[in-house]
Structure 1
Amino acid sequence: MKKAGLIMIIGPLFLLGLYFFPLWNIMLGAPQYPEPLGMNIHIDGIRDVSEFDLQNIDGLNHYIGMRKLPKPEEMWEFGTFPLVIGGMVTLGVFIGLLGFLNKVSYKWFIGWFVSMSILGVLGMYDFNAWMVDYGTNLDPNAIMKLENPDGTPMSYKPPLFGHAKMLNFDVTSLPAMGAWFMFIGMMLTIVASFIGWKNRTSTEMKKSTKIAAS
């Protein structure tokens, strides 16, 4: 279990990358913007890709009635997510240390992975719900009021993943560096779980062989 425990200690530490790199990236390109506008979604706020990008995005959104992009203090998620990540990193390292000392089995590694996966799914659901509200709850007194062919108000919700055409803008939404750090860290916990399971199975087979031989 020492090797498995060591890998389990290292895996959660990769999540610390979320404190330094963006989790998600959204880019908006149009003919009038040779350099696309972009926003990086961090666990503690939204930041420009290039200087003044958020200011320009807010200026464009004003015409169609969208609210300004939220400040960190305006969304509880930006205060909570860093604490959740910190707690999961600490818990994962602690479980890995116990595994290294043969105090817990590989099942604890799996439990951490499942818990982190659930939190990740909930985080993506919350992020998508925010984008739905942001792109559909528009100011009725906006300068521009555009409708779909069926007469319903047009939605400006960015895609959660991938590409979408919104008016004359091409919008691309993809995981950023922080998300890849998290992915690598979680995959390492799967590796640790597999090695722990393999060691457990090998140990049980050796015990069975000894018993049968005696």
Structure 2
Amino acid sequence: MKISGTIMILGSALLLGLFFYPLWNIRLEAPQYPDPLGMDIYIAGIEGEEEFDIQNIDGVNHYIGMKKIPKPEEMWEFNVFPIVIGSMAGLGILLGFLGFFGKISPHWFMGWLVLMIILGILGMYDFNNWLLDYGTDLDPKAIIKLTDAEGNPLNYKPPLLGSEKILNFTAHSYPRTGAYMMFIGMFLTLIAWFAGFRTVKTKK
């Protein structure tokens, strides 16, 4: 169990990268912007890729009635997500140490992974709901009101994953460094469970 415990510790520790690197990125490309506008989404807030990107995105959105990019204090997620990630990293590291000394079964590693997957799915669901609200809850007093063929307000929701045309912009939405560190950490946890399971089975 020493090898599997060590792998579990390393995998769980990778989650701490989310405190330093962005989880997701949304970038807007348009002919009038030679340099694309982008925002990096962290677990504790949103920052522009460049110094004035957030202000420029808010300025463009103002004309069609979209809300401003939320500040950390305006979304409960930015207060809760750091606690959840920190707790899961700490729990995983603890389980890794316990596994290293043979105090617990490797199935605890799988339990941690399943819980992490559930939390990840809930997080993506919440993120998609935010994007939907962000792109559809428009100010009726907006300077520019655009509608579809049936007269309904257009949907400006950025894609959850991938690229999509929105008016004269092309929106790109993809994971960033923090997300990749999390995915690698979860994969290492799977390896830790498998290695521990093989070790326990061999001893029997």
- Per-residue CA deviations over 1:4-23 (Å, capped at 9, x if unaligned) read 01111111100111011000
2:133 is matched with which residue?
133
Measure how far apart 1:149 and its partner are: 2.0
- Per-residue CA deviations over 1:120-148 (Å, capped at 9, x if unaligned) read 11111101001101100100011111111
Measure how far apart 1:203 and its partner are: 1.6
Question: CA separation in 1, counterparts of 2:67 and 2:10?
Answer: 41
Alignment of 1:66-81 (within 5 A): 66-81=66-81
2:184 is matched with which residue?
184
1:6 is matched with which residue?
6
Letter in 2 for 1:156: Y
2:99 is matched with which residue?
99
Letter in 1 for 2:157: K
Question: CA separation in 2, counterparts of 1:74 and 1:168?
Answer: 29
1:36 is matched with which residue?
36
Question: CA separation in 2, counterparts of 1:9 and 1:27?
Answer: 34
* Structure ID, larger Rg: 1
Alignment of 1:1-214 (within 5 A): 1-204=1-204
Identity of aligned residues (%): 60
Q: Which runs of 5+ in 1 are unaligned?
A: 205-214
**Secondary structure, counterpart of 2:152 in structure 1:** coil
Measure how far apart 1:197 and its partner are: 1.0
**Secondary structure, counterpart of 2:21 in structure 1:** coil
- Per-residue CA deviations over 1:66-95 (Å, capped at 9, x if unaligned) read 011100000010011011111001100000
Q: Which runs of 5+ in 2 are unaligned?
A: none
Question: CA separation in 2, counterparts of 1:118 and 1:201?
Answer: 28
Measure how far apart 1:202 and its partner are: 1.3
**Secondary structure, counterpart of 1:170 in structure 2:** strand
Question: CA separation in 2, counterparts of 1:131 and 1:57?
Answer: 14
**Secondary structure, counterpart of 2:149 in structure 1:** coil
**Secondary structure, counterpart of 1:156 in structure 2:** coil
TM-score (norm 2): 0.99
Question: CA separation in 2, counterparts of 1:190 and 1:132?
Answer: 33
Letter in 2 for 1:26: I
Question: CA separation in 2, counterparts of 1:197 and 1:8?
Answer: 13
